[in-house]
Amino acid sequence: MKLLIVDDQPSVSEGLRKGISWEELQIDQVFAAYNALEAREILKKESVDIMLCDIEMPVENGLQLLAWIREEKIQTLCILLTSHAEFDYAREGIRLGAFDYVVQPAMYSTIAATVKKAVEAVAQKQKNEKAIDEGRTLLRQKKNMAANALRNYLYGDSNYLDIENLSRMGVMPDFTRPGFAAVIQIVKWEGKKEEWDNYLLEQSLSNILNEIFAPNDQKAVLSGIEENVFLMVTQSVSGDEITQDSLMRQLMFLNSVCRQFFRCQTACYLSEETVLSELGSVWNQLRERKENNVSLKPGVFCVSGAEEKKAYTFRMVSVKQWEALFDEGYPQTVEDQAYRLLEDLAEKGVLDKKTLLYFYQDYMQLMYTVFQKQGMNVCELFQTASELELYRNGMKSVDAMKRLISFITSCCQPEEEVDDAQALVQTVMVYVAENLEQELRRGTIAELVHLNPDYLTRIFKKETGMTLKEYIIEQKIRAAQSLLKTTSLPVSFVAAKVGYSNFSHFSKAYKKVMGHTPQEERGAGEKV
Domain of residue 67, CATH code: 3.40.50.2300
Partner residues linked to 224 by β-bridges: 230
Residue 311, in any domain of the structure: no
pLDDT value of residue 401 = 92
Residue 163, in any domain of the structure: no
Rg over CA atoms, the chain: 35
**Which pairs count as long-range contacts for 338-342, CB under 8 Å and 24+ apart, including other chains?**
338/363, 338/405, 339/402, 339/405, 341/316, 342/398, 342/401, 342/402
The per-residue pLDDT string of the chain (528 residues; one tens digit each, 9 = 90 and over) reads 999 999 988 888 889 988 899 999 999 999 999 999 999 999 999 999 999 998 888 888 888 898 899 888 898 999 988 876 566 777 778 878 888 888 888 889 999 999 999 999 999 988 888 877 766 666 566 666 766 777 777 766 555 556 666 666 666 788 888 999 999 999 998 877 666 777 788 888 888 888 898 888 888 888 888 888 898 989 888 878 889 999 999 999 999 998 888 888 999 999 999 888 888 888 889 989 999 999 999 999 998 865 555 556 676 767 788 888 887 778 888 888 889 888 888 888 888 888 899 899 889 888 888 887 776 676 767 777 888 888 888 888 999 999 999 888 877 755 445 567 788 888 999 999 999 888 888 778 888 887 767 677 778 888 888 888 888 999 999 999 999 888 888 888 888 888 888 888 888 889 888 888 888 887 644 444
**CA–CA distance, 142 with 170 (Å, rounded to integer):** 9
Q: Are residues 289 and 181 in the same domain?
A: yes
Give the domain-ending residue among 412, 435, 460. 412
pLDDT value of residue 56 = 85
**CA–CA distance, 71 with 49 (Å, rounded to integer):** 17
Residue 146, in any domain of the structure: no
**CA–CA distance, 60 with 57 (Å, rounded to integer):** 6
CATH number at residue 469: 1.10.10.60
Residue 137, in any domain of the structure: no
Q: Are residues 350 and 384 in the same domain?
A: yes
pLDDT value of residue 168 = 67
- The domain containing residue 53 runs over which residues? 2-126
First-to-last CA distance in the chain?
47
Residue 336, in any domain of the structure: yes
**CA–CA distance, 528 with 526 (Å, rounded to integer):** 6
Q: Are residues 427 and 408 in the same domain?
A: no
Residue 165, in any domain of the structure: no
Number of domains observed in the structure of the chain = 4
Q: Are residues 393 and 426 in the same domain?
A: no
Instruction: Specify the amino acid at residue 321.
Output: Q
Q: Are residues 297 and 181 in the same domain?
A: yes
Helix (H, G, I), strand (E, B), or coil: what is residue 218?
strand
User: Residue 25 contacts by C-beta under 8 Å, 6 or more apart in sequence?
Assistant: 112, 115, 116, 119
Query: CA dihedral defined by 280, 286, 289, 293, rounded to 10 degrees?
Result: -130
Q: Are residues 398 and 440 in the same domain?
A: no
Q: Are residues 516 and 439 in the same domain?
A: yes
**CA–CA distance, 43 with 14 (Å, rounded to integer):** 19
Instruction: Specify the amino acid at residue 455.
Output: Y
Comparing CA positions, the residue from 44, 39, 76, 41 lying closest to residue 61 is: 39
Compute φ and ψ for 353, nearest 5 degrees: -65, -35
Cis peptide bond upstream of 414, omega within 30: no
Sign of CA dihedral 413, 415, 419, 421: positive
Q: What angle do CA 239, 243, 248 make, to 5 degrees?
A: 130
**CA–CA distance, 48 with 227 (Å, rounded to integer):** 45
**CA–CA distance, 479 with 394 (Å, rounded to integer):** 42
Q: Are residues 448 and 471 in the same domain?
A: yes
**CA–CA distance, 521 with 511 (Å, rounded to integer):** 10
Q: Are residues 192 and 252 in the same domain?
A: yes
Give the up-direction half-sphere exposure of residue 74: CA atoms within 13 A in the CB hemisphere.
24
Category of 419 on φ-ψ map: left (φ > 0), alpha (ψ -120 to 50) or beta: alpha
Q: Are residues 251 and 287 in the same domain?
A: yes
Q: Are residues 401 and 428 in the same domain?
A: no
Residue 503, in any domain of the structure: yes
Q: Are residues 193 and 225 in the same domain?
A: yes
Number of other residues whose CB lies within 10 A of the CB of residue 65: 24
> What is the residue-wise DSSP string for 229-292?
EEEEEEEESS-----HHHHHHHHHHHHHHHHHHT-EEEEEEEPPPEEGGGHHHHHHHHHHHHHH
Residue 342, in any domain of the structure: yes
Give the domain-ending residue among 392, 412, 432. 412
CATH number at residue 190: 3.30.70.270
Q: What angle do CA 116, 118, 122 make, to 5 degrees?
A: 115
**CA–CA distance, 380 with 461 (Å, rounded to integer):** 14
Give the domain-ending residue among 357, 388, 412. 412
